[in-house]
Amino acid sequence: MAEPDSPRAEPRRPVSSFELFFDLVFVFSLTRVTDLILHDPHAGGVLRGMLVLALLWWAWGAYAWLTNAVGTDSAAARVVVLAAMGAMLVVAVAVPLASAENALPFALAYLVVRVLHLVLYAVAGGANRAAILRLAPGNLAASMLLIIGVYVPSSIQLVLWALAVVIDYGTPIVTGVGGFTVHAGHFFERHSLFMIIALGESVVAVGAGVLGAGATVTPLLAAAIMLAVAAIGGLWWAYFDWEAALSERQLAHSIGAKRAHLARDMFSYLHLPLVAGVVFIAVGLESVMIHPLQHMHGVYAFGLGGGAALFLSGLSAISVRRGHRPRRDHLVTALACLCLIPLSSHVPAVAALALLVAILLVIAVIDHHHGRTGYQPAARTPEAAPADA
């Protein structure tokens, strides 16, 4: 089906149960990234965790684009996607030791995921076939770098992983994404559902932290759990209550190559900071559950404040890409979240979490007011609008 030539209403194709089934493997994948960071809570472990997250996010996004353009009703398509799901589960299992004992299974399974994506696109992509073939060399080159990284020292491996991420994310900028079909409603819904999956990882982290604390629910731990749920709910509110509708509307009103480039920028690129922010917050929440009265240091302190700041900054960047001015309340509260990082080393962890909830409550109140009053964000000047080449 060709892309629409006008922003008239399209028939809405809901996300299928099979697509949601495919996404289940990424719930586990995100927990493994969190585990990787928790098991190596130093600069190297955090960097590896973020590189792995970037690779996982890009692989999931590739299939989101695929199923947006190609139906999964045929038996052949489902078999290929199920095979990719199995390979991605191997990738997820290998994540914590992806730079050591499980380096080869991680790299080979990731290559299988990417190859199956290209095969299904090439066979069933129709009008999208030429567009995906432009991206194929970069996709395969990035995957091959992971395999080469198996046989080199750890420091060089890290460089190759970073280069793979640069190639993966840079190729669509060089080639463009014109020619890809983007059904706006389906594309938006798929990514918004993934955000719920990502937030679910924070819920899992809270449960893991409670188990790590011995599973004895004291009044203090119960209060920490309630605050954690409030923080996760605050993130949901910041994304879904007002911002998400604006992004969906902007995508629906774009046409042709402009829509494809907007989808690439707002969702494939600028949703990564949101997901990374949620992963960091999960790290912080698990630490709070285990040691609610202790001070937080290092990656644990960064997890709460830095993760929330990354999430809010990502929302502001999406607003800019939509053509609106950056939201000052997001930027100010992101700065306030950053201030929690040094503060966390001087106050109990549960107190730092309470302060984070208060900050997110401010955003919730502002968004609720915007939605209730029908407020529309101010557009940037035409000179500042990004090109959709």
**Do residues 64 and 161 both lie within one domain?**
yes
User: Final residue of a domain: which of 155, 175, 195?
Assistant: 175
**Do residues 244 and 314 both lie within one domain?**
yes
| Cα–Cα distances in angstroms (integers) from residue 184 to residues 80, 174, 272, 347, in the given order | 24, 23, 19, 45
Cβ neighbours of residue 59 closer than 8 Å, sequence gap 6 or more: 88, 91, 110, 113, 114, 117
The domain in which residue 89 lies consists of 17-175
CA atoms of 318 and 326, how far apart (whole Å)? 8
Instruction: Evaluate if residue 148 carries a pLDDT over 80.
Output: yes
pLDDT in the model for residue 178: 83
For the stretch 232-256, pLDDT in tens is 999 999 999 888 888 999 999 998 8
CATH number, domain of 360, equals 1.20.1410
pLDDT in the model for residue 73: 79
Out of 109-118, 320-329, 354-363, pick the least confident: 320-329
Provide the β-strand partners of residue 324: 379
DSSP state, 273? H
Mean of pLDDT values over 2-26:
70
SS3 assignment, position 181: coil
Provide the β-strand partners of residue 224: none
Question: How many other CB atoms sit within 10 Å of the CB of residue 49?
Answer: 28
**Do residues 250 and 133 both lie within one domain?**
no
Closest Cα to residue 238, out of 380, 326, 377, 362?
362
CA atoms of 260 and 255, how far apart (whole Å)? 8
* Count of domains forming the chain: 2
For the stretch 43-101, pLDDT in tens is 888 999 999 999 999 999 999 998 888 777 778 888 888 999 999 999 999 998 888 88
Q: Residue-wise over 13-22: b if at least 16 C-beta within 10 A, else e? A: eebeebbeeb
User: Final residue of a domain: which of 175, 206, 222?
Assistant: 175
**Do residues 163 and 300 both lie within one domain?**
no
Out of 2-6, 103-107, 125-129, 206-210, pick the least confident: 2-6
**Do residues 327 and 227 both lie within one domain?**
yes
**Do residues 152 and 216 both lie within one domain?**
no
Out of 27-36, 270-279, 290-299, pick the least confident: 27-36
Give Cα 155 distance to the centre of its chain. Answer: 26
DSSP state, 383? G
**Do residues 252 and 109 both lie within one domain?**
no
Question: How many other CB atoms sit within 10 Å of the CB of residue 276?
Answer: 22
Q: Is residue 384 part of a domain?
A: no
**Do residues 123 and 246 both lie within one domain?**
no
User: Final residue of a domain: which of 150, 175, 200?
Assistant: 175
**Do residues 314 and 226 both lie within one domain?**
yes
Give the length of the chain. Answer: 389
